[in-house]
Amino acid sequence: MRLVTPAIVLALRSHGEHGAIVRLLTPDHGLQAAYVRGARGRRMRPILIAGNLVEVRLSARNDAQLAHAEVELTHSRAPLLAEPLPAAAIEWAAALTATVLPEGQPYPRLHAALDGLLAAIEAAPSASGWATALVRYELLLLAELGFGLDLDQCAVTGTSEALNAVSPHSGRAVSDGAALRYAGKLFALPTFLRAGGPASLPDILDGLTLTGHFLMRDLVTDRAAPIAEARARLVERLERAAGS
């Protein structure tokens, strides 16, 4: 295998004395894992930061062999690591993607959405400018991996009007009238997920509560511990921003 492609850096795991196995999301070849020689050295460390855009040259003798990679930086997001909320968002989005995607399967919509989310985090002056994109990215991830939510029609009545709740069991929307009998047992369905547009931080936190339940139940499962901490840091910082 020989492949030259743009990629988003997702994760890094030490391997050997100086190298590391890097996980990268490519537009046409999905998640790729590869060994990078000298990854923990002074020159490569700033390149292999989660969220960075790179060009990667992958080579392997056969499909069963771990590829070797040569990586060149095309865009750095390292300055964002000094900002707690953007840093937490990038850490979570990258760790989630690296954890749940199968290797070698193309997900061009996910690559485009993650690239757009990272660009929004970098460009927006506050979390309210990018956090809706994070919730939508998580919904897309669920859908692309076969666990999409149905937010367009009431699970009980079939109506598409007044949908303000979601069943934690089926992942289907519930209308106001039908939700009364399930009071306290449903997730809130934020308006921005139905109608688009901007959202307040409390609505965004409702969205993250919704997506987080299904991500942890259906995709992360027994792999939850390490990345659940990354999500907890993000939610805590968003809650702090919402209360300030």
| Consecutive 10-residue averages of pLDDT for the chain (244 residues) | 94 86 97 92 92 96 85 96 95 96 96 98 93 98 97 93 95 93 92 90 96 94 79 94 84
Residues with Cβ < 8 Å from 225, sequence gap 6 or more? none
Note whether 217 and 224 are within 8 A (CB).
no
Give the start-end residues of each E strand in the chain.
2-15, 19-26, 30-36, 53-59, 67-75, 150-154, 163-166, 172-175, 187-188
> What distance in Å separates the CA atoms of residue 80 and residue 49, rounded to the nearest whole number?
11
Q: What is the pLDDT of residues 215-240, one digit of tens each?
A: 999 998 776 667 888 999 999 999 99
* Extents of the domains making up the chain: 2-76, 80-243
Per-residue model confidence (pLDDT) at position 39:
87
CATH superfamily of 2-76: Nucleic acid-binding proteins (2.40.50.140)
Note whether 49 and 78 are within 8 A (CB).
yes
Per-residue model confidence (pLDDT) at position 223:
67
Per-residue model confidence (pLDDT) at position 16:
72
Per-residue model confidence (pLDDT) at position 181:
87
Cα 48 to Cα 9, 61, 222, distances in angstroms: 6, 24, 27
Candidates 1.10.490.20, 3.40.50.300, 1.20.1440.120, 1.10.3720.10; correct CATH number of 80-243? 1.20.1440.120
Per-residue model confidence (pLDDT) at position 51:
97
